[in-house]
Amino acid sequence: MKMSRRLSVLALAGTLFAGSAWAQTNLRVFSGGNNQRPDLMRKLFDRYEAANPGVKIQIETGGATSDLQRQYLSTVLNAKDPAIDIFLIDIVNPAQYFSAGWLEPLDAYVGAPATALKAHLPVYMTSNVVNGKVAALPGFADAMFMYYRRDLLEKHKIAEPKTWDELAAAAQKIQKAEGDANLQGLSIQGAPIEGAVCTFLLPYWSQGKEFNDAAGRLTLDKPAAVKGLNQWLGMVDQGVIKRNVAEVKTPDTVNEFKAGQVIFAINWSWAWDRFKDDADSKVKGKVGVMPLPAMAGGRSATCVGGWQWAVSAFSRNKPAAAKLVQFMAAPDASRFLAAEGALLPTYAEVYNDPEVLKNVPWFKDAGGVMAFGRSRPMSARYGEVSDAVRTTTSAVLARTKKPEEGVDDIESRLRRVMR
């Protein structure tokens, strides 16, 4: 009898243990490389675990660039591997991943797009909605900003330019007055890199034009595209943009502006810390941020980048994964990442949060820029879209192609890709 009772107790204990193990949910998250601040993500995951004792989160990192991360995720997802439940993807990837069947639609967990993304910046209704479904939720943003030498504009009593022509005139006035042959008016990226996609789009968008419709079909306005490219070439001829612009990469702009050799510079948000913190920066305390100018009669627009949280279509823990993604995309998480890591918020109101501004004062100006954020072309074949736009833009800026010829090439190549 005693033996029987002991066996019953052991059996009950085993049942309880098995039930406890069954109730435990393990989530594996691919959180990108160092630039995506996995250290801060880990702190947020720790908070989530504390509030949800039945969940354990394992973080996986890797890939110094978005291309390397994309290659890794493509391998995992092509194999339909359920090992990763959640991953960070670049803002240009939701359409590609969703079309490949790699993303779990989130509508069943977060509601329809108009509900799930209503509080976020408007750009995410374009970038994160595919075929009417919520493909991903915003994690944190990036964007192209117009940095400028506030000290030089104040010295020469020049207001922030609102149009590209006003910027060219302001730059020429300062260049002439300063008498420095090495002082560039404006630095943009013309090398055949991802930044050149934005170089093409900025003057085009600022004419009020769309590159694609809501379904991802090409809507290229060829005269407007030619006009945008001619805007850059005209500034080269004016001496505002340097002649070898077709060789300029993202770090070149940062380094030259940091060295005090540029008046206006277009670059990503991470450049701010280089200007502010680097020991060799000659522009500390002299830098302003303003909305990008527009073509005459148009309105400001900027290229938005950044990272989105997505749930794998092959996860065995989709409801739990979706719940974690909601937490990581919530305002509190956005405030934490902004205050602790200067990662751009995906909510307009966070740019004016007192705690955030105490740590990152320049976000007060950044919020005005992000309001005009636009997503690069939405396409399941974004790699081909990017290649067509950036290589052609670089060729036009190198003057190996005329703008009209370049725009014809872009339309010809993308008509087959974006249908």
**d(Cα 230, Cα 404) in Å, to the nearest integer?**
9
Buried b (16+ CB within 10 A) or exposed e, 154-164: eeeebebbbbb
Residue 29 has pLDDT above 70, yes or no: yes
Cβ neighbour number for residue 16 with a 10 Å cutoff: 10
Query: In degrees rounded to 5, what are phi and psi of residue 311?
Result: -105, 130
Over residues 30-55, the mean pLDDT reads 96
Residues 357 and 391 in one domain: no
> pLDDT for 303-335, tens place per residue?
999 999 999 999 999 999 999 999 999 999 999
Over residues 3-22, the mean pLDDT reads 42
Residues 387 and 238 in one domain: yes
The set of residues, in sequence order, having a beta carbon less than 8 Å from that of 415 and lying 6+ positions away, is: 218
Tell how far CA 5 is from the center of its chain.
Answer: 63
**d(Cα 351, Cα 121) in Å, to the nearest integer?**
11
Contact call for residues 63 and 33 (beta carbons, < 8 A): yes
3-state helix, strand, coil in the chain (%, to 5): 50, 15, 35
| Residue 349: both structure tokens together | 């109101």
Count structural domains, the chain. Answer: 2
Determine the 3-state secondary structure of 287 from DSSP: strand
Q: Which of 87, 96, 36, 132 is nearest to 377 (CA)?
A: 96
Residue owning tokens 């409801």: 319
**d(Cα 298, Cα 365) in Å, to the nearest integer?**
21
Burial of 354 (0-12, 13-18, 19+ CB in 10 A): exposed
pLDDT value of position 18: 43
Residues 222 and 79 in one domain: no
Residues 275 and 397 in one domain: yes
Tell how far CA 49 is from the center of its chain.
Answer: 28
pLDDT value of position 280: 97
Residues 185 and 220 in one domain: yes
**d(Cα 246, Cα 236) in Å, to the nearest integer?**
11
Beta bridge partners of 302: 373
| CB hemisphere CA count around 169 (13 angstroms) | 10
Over residues 251-261, the mean pLDDT reads 98
pTM of the entire predicted model: 0.89
Cβ neighbour number for residue 102 with a 10 Å cutoff: 23
Residue owning tokens 């705690």: 355
Residue 27 has pLDDT above 80, yes or no: yes
Residue 208 has pLDDT above 50, yes or no: yes
Q: What is the CATH number of the domain that holds 249?
A: 3.40.190.10
pLDDT value of position 22: 54
**d(Cα 346, Cα 315) in Å, to the nearest integer?**
26
Over residues 282-300, the mean pLDDT reads 96
Residues 282 and 398 in one domain: yes
Residue 5 has pLDDT above 90, yes or no: no
* Residue 20 pLDDT level (bands cut at 50, 70, 90): very low
The set of residues, in sequence order, having a beta carbon less than 8 Å from that of 413 and lying 6+ positions away, is: 384, 388
Cα Rg of the chain (Å, integer): 24
Residues 386 and 296 in one domain: yes
Over residues 264-274, the mean pLDDT reads 96
Residues 238 and 385 in one domain: yes
Contact call for residues 407 and 225 (beta carbons, < 8 A): yes
**d(Cα 375, Cα 118) in Å, to the nearest integer?**
16
Packed helices 164-178 and 222-237: angle between N→C axes, nearest 10 degrees: 10
Residue 232 has pLDDT above 80, yes or no: yes
* Residue 211 pLDDT level (bands cut at 50, 70, 90): very high
The overall average pLDDT reported for the chain is 93
Over residues 159-181, the mean pLDDT reads 97
The set of residues, in sequence order, having a beta carbon less than 8 Å from that of 208 and lying 6+ positions away, is: 298, 299
**d(Cα 93, Cα 91) in Å, to the nearest integer?**
6
pLDDT value of position 23: 77
Over residues 348-355, the mean pLDDT reads 96
Contact call for residues 97 and 310 (beta carbons, < 8 A): yes
Residues 159 and 120 in one domain: no
Contact call for residues 418 and 377 (beta carbons, < 8 A): yes
Domain enclosing residue 105, as ranges? 2-135+305-371
pLDDT value of position 378: 87
pLDDT value of position 13: 41
- Helices (H), ranges, 286-402: 318-328, 331-341, 354-359, 363-370, 382-397
* Residue 366 pLDDT level (bands cut at 50, 70, 90): very high
Residues 112 and 200 in one domain: no
Q: How far is CA 137 from CA 91, 153, 157, 346, 352, in A?
A: 10, 39, 43, 10, 22
Residues 272 and 398 in one domain: yes
Residue 8 has pLDDT above 90, yes or no: no
Residues 252 and 398 in one domain: yes
Q: Which of 387, 406, 386, 372 is nearest to 233 (CA)?
A: 406
> pLDDT for 74-127, tens place per residue?
999 999 999 999 999 999 999 999 999 999 999 999 999 999 999 999 999 999
* Residue 19 pLDDT level (bands cut at 50, 70, 90): very low
Query: In degrees rounded to 5, what are phi and psi of residue 61?
Result: -125, 165
Over residues 1-24, the mean pLDDT reads 45
